[in-house]
A and B are shown apart, each in its own frame.
Chain A
Amino acid sequence: MKEEPYKLTAHELIERIDKKETNSEEIIGSLKKRIKDVESKVRAYVRLSNSHFSNLTHNSQHLKPDTQHLRPILRGIPVSIKDNICTQGYNTECCSKILDGFKPPYDATVIRKLKQAGATILAAKTNMDEFAFGSSTENSCYGPTHNPWDLDAVVGGSSGGSAAAVASDEAILTLGSDTGGSIRQPASFCGVVGLKPTYGRVSRYGLIAFASSLDQIGPITKDVRDSAILMNVISGYDSFDSTSINVDVPDYTKSLGMDIKGIKIAIPNEYFIEGLDKDVKTIVEEAINKLKSLGANYKSVSLPHTQYAIPVYYIIATAEASSNLARFDGVQYGFRAEHRTPNTEHRLIDMYNQTRGEGFGQEAKRRIILGTFVLSHGYYDAYYLRALKVRTLIKQDFDKVFTEFDCVVTPTSPTAAFKIGEKIKDPLRMYLSDIYTISVNLAGIPAISIPCGFTKKGLPVGLQILVKPFNEELLFKVAYTYEQNTTWHSMKPKL
């Protein structure tokens, strides 16, 4: 085989494996070499042992595939996993000090499904903002990941490590998680494909929870076909996740047709106002025109409650986070603070306070305290309950649009990747960069970000497509058609 395996997509590798031109050992070897070559610049992975790379892989257990949708379709191809998805016996720490040394005693459902499908799960996890709190991967206790397109720029977050690894060819397939845009925004910053499934489509069992009513695991991949392949594997009802929905999983690769004639696209006015970078706006408008030239029709619409999405999100998500992170107290796993004042009796409450004070990073503390505040007596009605009601209005905005239109198209982010250090000191400014992705999680609908161009500074721009719940097939159809009629997905950064 002429090309280096690490450069290829999973579907190209599957083809070559079937033709006996390569095999999973060769692919993993090629990937290891690529990681050795560029990882010091990108830092997409964490806890990677430099000298040996001995912890890089572990064998997938080839369980008997069940008769429904799971078959060994991944042929031993390596999959890289975000640090908040539990892999039995291998460190899963959410890039936080408070989970230092944590080795889950069980596999997340998506990991079990990947193994049943024949994947090789990489033991080294990808970098992320601590507990998924962030939009730049600067909140990781291991430091930031660097954007392969501009090493001084952020990769986005919180699934920044996964997105960067795909962009730099340090990974073939990856999983990330998305609560407010954490798959789509890094995908757009790194010029790769990121999909957030419908809430309930993919099991959250084994995903270390941030906000239980918003979180979803999803694929970050080199192209749309790889995303469909991964979605086939990870989707489906799971009795271990009481928020997973019992709806059949279609073969998403069958949606990768070429015909989008007559597809009705809604362009929301509120996503094209001041604050949207001019370069990004031009590029996204060109992409919309491209979709038109391929047969789709578009029209402007209003999503009137868009301006309230960020406040609603930062109330609901932080409230849920404050509850979900209550378990990190030094009792059962992870970091436990040393008794610091030896002449006094060490009380349990001191252990809690000190463990959480030392173990959590700044953003984690900020969010937990904000979340606790909005749930507290006297403020619950004014903040949390009010936010839940405005969430209904935001969802209704989408419901109305989907009665007339097939999909909504927007930029994924108001800007391309900003510089490392640029926004980290201003939390509110960082929060505002989530404006185009956040409503999607509040409404529970699926969305994909695909590369659609580059700014004048050579940074990738993402196009976001949204559809109504459980309509990922249409998402794949539109995304694939656009992708196959452009060349963005085949461009690689110079590393």
Chain B
Amino acid sequence: MIKNYLFRGAGATSEEYRFTHCLRCEAGREGISMAITKDTVKYVAHLARIDLKPKELEKLSQQLQEILGFIDKLKKVDIKDIAPTSHILPINNVLRDDLPLKSLSSDKALEDAPERQGNFFGVPKVIE
């Protein structure tokens, strides 16, 4: 089961889990191709932590609908027994020796901080 894509700093709310369940039911009922409604876009924008103005939401929904319609042609491809390509190169598990190396100093890391508090990035409160 693939988890909902969540961004660091904010956990999934109970609202998100409820919506997920509904989408899954609907996808199961109507088959894979579901129109990307304005509500879906609004929810995905929330997952992606992007505020959309009402006009943006409207326009984006139309455009994404069109794009997904075009993308749907992939359904025609016979992918039986085809392995997915996640890495185009035949290398994986690239590790280095477990030795301490030089890394960025706190000062350098905080140089561009919009708000610095001591050795920390200052941010607004995390409030449930």
Contact = CB atoms under 8 A, between A and B. Distances in A.
A322 B5 contact: yes
A389 B85 CA distance: 6
Q: How large is the interface on B (under 10, 10 to 19, 20 to 34, 35 or more residues)?
A: 35 or more
A388 B88 CA distance: 11
Contacts, number: 204
B124 A365 contact: no
Contact of A346 (B7, B33, B70, B124): B124
Contacts of B108: 105
A368 B50 contact: yes
A383 B91 CA distance: 25
A354 B73 contact: no
A346 B127 CA distance: 9
Given A103-B111, A345-B127, A352-B9, 11 more contacts: A332-B113, A336-B114, A349-B126, A356-B51, A369-B44, A379-B32, A382-B32, A383-B74, A386-B75, A388-B86, A428-B67
Interface stretch (A45-53, A311-319, A474-482): A311-319
A347 B32 contact: no
A209 to B, nearest CB: 15
26 contacts: A101-B112, A102-B112, A213-B87, A311-B73, A314-B71, A315-B74, A326-B8, A331-B123, A333-B112, A348-B9, A348-B126, A352-B7, A352-B10, A353-B50, A365-B60, A376-B47, A377-B1, A378-B20, A382-B75, A385-B84, A388-B86, A389-B79, A390-B77, A431-B67, A444-B88, A444-B89
A484 interface: no
Q: Is the interface of B mostly helix, strand, loop or mixed?
A: loop
B109 interface: yes
B58 interface: no
A356 B50 contact: yes
Interface string B91-128: 10010100000001000110111110000010111110
Nearest to B48: A372
Contacts of B60: 365-366, 369
Contacts of B51: 353-354, 356-358
B81 to A, nearest CB: 9
A395 interface: yes
Given A373-B36, A390-B79, A428 B66 contact: yes
Interface string A358-373: 1010100110111011
A369 B47 CA distance: 9
Interface stretch (A61-69, A124-132, A238-246, A460-468): A238-246
B50 A388 contact: no
Interface of B: 1-5, 7-10, 20, 23-24, 27, 32-33, 36, 40-41, 44-53, 56, 60, 63-64, 66-68, 70-75, 77, 79, 82-89, 91, 94, 96, 104, 108-109, 111-115, 121, 123-127
A378 B66 contact: no
B4 A377 contact: yes
A154 interface: no
Contacts of A354: 51
A28 interface: no
Contacts of B1: 377
B85 A388 contact: yes
B94 to A, nearest CB: 4
A217 B70 CA distance: 29
A336 B115 contact: yes
B85 to A, nearest CB: 4
A106 B74 contact: no
B114 A330 contact: yes
Contacts of B73: 307-308, 311
A311 B76 CA distance: 12
Contacts of A259: none
A377 B20 contact: yes
